[in-house]
Structures are given as C-alpha cells and as structure tokens.
Amino acid sequence: NWTTVNVVDEQVALIREQVGSKRAICGLSGGVDSAVAAALVQRAIGSQLTCVYVDHGLMRKGETEQVEKDFVAATGIQLKVVDAEERFLTALAGVSDPEEKRKIIGREFIRVFEQAQAEIVAEAGEHGEEVEFLVQGTLYPDVVESGGGTGTANIKSHHNVGGLPEDLQFKLIEPLRKLFKDEVRMVGQELGLPEEIVQRQPFPGPGLGIRIVGEVTKERLDLLREADAIAREELTLAGLDREIWQCPVVLLADVRSVGVQGDGRTYGHPIVLRPVSSEDAMTADWSRLPYEALAKISTRITNEVKDVNRVVLDVTSKPPGTIEWE
Ligand code: XMP
C-alpha cells in the first residue's frame, strides 16, 4: 500500500544497504526530480553524498544562481558547481539531429561526473572513500519513453536513461524509477523540501539544447534564453503557473520568415510557445491560455528579442506531438 512515508522509508533502507560506507554523487539539474532524489539519498547517507550541478550552458536565465542559492539553503547539501559550457557547446557544434544531441548531452554529463568524482575523492584526502554511485532522478515515464519499459516504443532518449554512454563506470541509484511526477512531488513534500522546489514545472535535463531546432550555438541560446524569460515572466504575472504543466519555448533556428519591424523588412526566426496541461507527461493537452497573456508575450518577444519576428502557438496534444519539440 502506497504512502509517501512507506516510499521514503523503503528507499532510505535500500540506499543505505546499497551504498554502505562508499560515496555517491548526484547530478542536480534544478528540477523537481533530481532535487527530490538528492534529498532522499541525503536522508539515507548524509554527508556521503555530494551533489554536482553541471552548468552546461543550456540552462534558462537565472537557473544556475537559483540552484546555487535556493537548493543549498533548503537542504544544506554539499554542492559542487561545474562550469562546463564550453565543453558542451564544443561537443554539440554542427549537430542538428535531436537524438544525436541527446546522446551527446547524456555522454558529456557522465564525463563531467567522472571528473567531479576524481576531484571529490582528492579533496576528501586519505579518508576519502571511493565514489561508486551516481544518483539520478529518473522517473517511470522517462524509463518507459526511452524504451526501457516493457514492449514500448523508443520515443526519445532521455538524457539520464537512453542517453547514457555504454562504458558507464558508476553504479546507478534511481530511487524514483517507479514513480510518477505527482508522487515525486508528494515525496519531496514529505522530505520537507520547500514549495518553490516541489511545485516547479518540469524542465528537461538537456535543457535548451533540445529547444533549438537546428544547431545549438551560444548566440542562439542567448536569444532563446531571452524569449523564454519573457514568456515565463508573463505567465507568472498572469497567474497561470499552476494551470499549466510546463511551457517549452522553442526557437526554430533553421526556419526564417519575412516580417516588417521598425523601418522595414526583416527576415527572422519564429519562436514557438508550447504551453501544455498534463497529469504525468505521458499524455498532454495544449493549454487554452487567455488571449491577453499570449498577446503580451508575443508583443514583448518580437519587440525585445533580436532576430525574432514571429511568435507562434503550438496547439497539438500529446499524442501526436510530444511535449518537447525534440
Ligand atoms: P516529451 O517531450 O517526451 O516530454 O513529451 C515528457 C516530459 O519529459 C521531459 N523531458 C525530459 N526530462 N530529461 C529530462 O529530465 C530528458 O532528456 C527529457 N526529455 C523530455 C519534458 O520536458 C516533459 O516534461
């Protein structure tokens, strides 16, 4: 019989037994899943856990600072922040294929964790136990949609499931592997995480890297970050955060259309708004947002973001569309 208390107790016991006196690291992404996984493992093994936040340069505006401040304040967890922007952008250069992007991002994450592992052991000095385990906030839908479930099609390689390299040297701890998002939120609450973390909208590990249709470059990321920040700000101001499950903002970098702005003709890129409502992300419906909020977002993005001359709304359910565009 399922209660959050049971889940927590059961996982804490399992993790203690599995890890023993060894050390574990946990990749924090700023999202709900990794935050709850980290808090759960911290409850089990305390300071044998170090969290690693990889700033891959694919984060949204203000996100890194938020993790550095809020998460540490809420949990007192040991956090290591790795600036890996150059590494990821170099690895992604010239790549447009969505699955290839996902695999590269998954692989680079692991490479950064391996490096962090070595540093953590070195910092701990002679009493440093080996880091053997990697904690991931993988959920049940991630497993299913990456083809890890029974008899399900491989839809996309989630960065922490199908996107892992084959020569992985860590043993994985995935305490949320059987749970859905709403259950994860309840477990987070049970563990005492603050509302701002537990109620955050989902954001994918590969970040904005899978929200640029086309090659991922720094310039395009900066542009998308601006558009995304405007959309998020306006949705919050309009009081719509709880109503929508998440709202990916996508840059169609390989598409151009003609516009007229200021003194004349422009030939810019479209931004797609993809607000959805959902229970568990396995299926979703497009959110019927108020026109005023959409109008405000559209006006601001086309006025404030360079090279964007069109904002379009995605009115596709899942299925047939997935929530993210890639
Ligand atoms: P899709 O696009 O498959 O997304 O309908 C379902 C949910 O999963 C999120 N998503 C990911 N989350 N790593 C993650 O942590 C990933 O690689 C990944 N891909 C998609 C997506 O934002 C949505 O909430």
132, 89, 141, 139: which is closest to 114 by C-alpha? 132
| Residue 32 sits in the same domain as residue 176 | yes
Per-residue pLDDT of 220-240, as tens digits, reads 999 999 999 999 999 999 999
* pLDDT (0 to 100) of residue 149: 53
123, 119, 129, 131: which is closest to 171 by C-alpha? 131
Is 29 a known ligand-binding residue? yes
* pLDDT (0 to 100) of residue 152: 52
Is 30 a known ligand-binding residue? yes
Per-residue pLDDT of 8-51, as tens digits, reads 999 999 999 999 999 999 999 888 999 999 999 999 999 999 99
157 CA: nearest ligand 1 atom:
17
Which protein residue's CA is at the shortest distance from atom 17 of ligand 1?
158
Looking at 166, 198, 230, the residue that finishes a domain is 198
The DSSP line for 265-289 is: EEEEEEEEE--EEESSSSSEEE---
| Residue 125 sits in the same domain as residue 223 | no
CA of 260 to the centre of ligand 1 (A): 35
Q: What's the pLDDT band for 82 if we cut at 50, 70, 90?
A: very high
CA of 204 to the centre of ligand 1 (A): 5
Our count of domains for the chain comes to: 2
CB half-sphere exposure, 283, CA atoms < 13 A = 1
Say whether pLDDT at 158 is over 90: no
Q: Which amino acid is at 245?
A: W
* pLDDT (0 to 100) of residue 205: 92
163 CA: nearest ligand 1 atom:
17
204 within some domain: no
Range of lowest pLDDT (102-116, 162-176, 202-216)? 162-176
Is 35 a known ligand-binding residue? yes
Which protein residue's CA is at the shortest distance from atom 21 of ligand 1?
204
Looking at 133, 163, 198, the residue that finishes a domain is 198
Is 162 a known ligand-binding residue? no
203 within some domain: no
Which protein residue's CA is at the shortest distance from atom 3 of ligand 1?
322
Cα 230 versus chain centre, distance: 19
Is 209 a known ligand-binding residue? no
List the CATH number of the domain containing 255: 3.30.300.10
321 within some domain: no
Residue of 125 and 304 predicted with greater confidence: 304
| Residue 69 sits in the same domain as residue 48 | yes
Q: What's the pLDDT band for 153 if we cut at 50, 70, 90?
A: low
Quote helix, strand, coil % in the chain, to nearest 5. Answer: 45, 20, 40
Q: Are 281 and 238 in contact (CB under 8 A)?
A: no
Residue of 162 and 56 predicted with greater confidence: 56
Cα 39 versus chain centre, distance: 17
Is 33 a known ligand-binding residue? yes
Per-residue pLDDT of 167-213, as tens digits, reads 888 999 999 999 999 999 999 999 999 998 999 999 999 999 999 99
* pLDDT (0 to 100) of residue 66: 87
| Residue 222 sits in the same domain as residue 107 | no
Say whether pLDDT at 145 is over 90: no
| Residue 20 sits in the same domain as residue 52 | yes
278 CA: nearest ligand 1 atom:
24
Q: What's the pLDDT band for 166 if we cut at 50, 70, 90?
A: confident
Which protein residue's CA is at the shortest distance from atom 10 of ligand 1?
204
List the CATH number of the domain containing 77: 3.40.50.620
Domain with 246, as residue range(s), is 211-313
Residues with CB under 6 A from ligand 1: 145, 155-156, 158-159, 202, 204-206, 246, 281, 318, 322-324
Say whether pLDDT at 286 is over 90: yes
102 CA: nearest ligand 1 atom:
17
Looking at 198, 222, 245, the residue that finishes a domain is 198
Tell me: cis bond preceding 320? Omega within 30 of 0 counts. yes
**Alpha-helical runs (H) found in the chain:** 4-19, 32-45, 63-66, 72-75, 85-92, 98-124, 140-145, 181-190, 195-198, 218-237, 291-304
| Residue 83 sits in the same domain as residue 170 | yes
* pLDDT (0 to 100) of residue 127: 65
| Separation of alpha carbons 118 and 192, rounded Å | 31
Sequence-ordered list of residues with C-beta below 8 angstroms from that of 167, at least 6 positions apart, any chain: none
* pLDDT (0 to 100) of residue 159: 81
* Across 141-167, average pLDDT: 77
User: Average pLDDT over the chain, rounded to whole?
Assistant: 93
Which protein residue's CA is at the shortest distance from atom 6 of ligand 1?
281
Q: Cα torsion for 314, 316, 321, 322, to the nearest 10°?
A: 70
Sequence-ordered list of residues with C-beta below 8 angstroms from that of 254, at least 6 positions apart, any chain: 96, 213, 214
Maximal C-alpha separation, the chain: 68
CA of 262 to the centre of ligand 1 (A): 38
Which protein residue's CA is at the shortest distance from atom 24 of ligand 1?
202
* Across 73-101, average pLDDT: 96
Say whether pLDDT at 289 is over 70: yes
Per-residue pLDDT of 250-265, as tens digits, reads 999 999 999 999 889 9
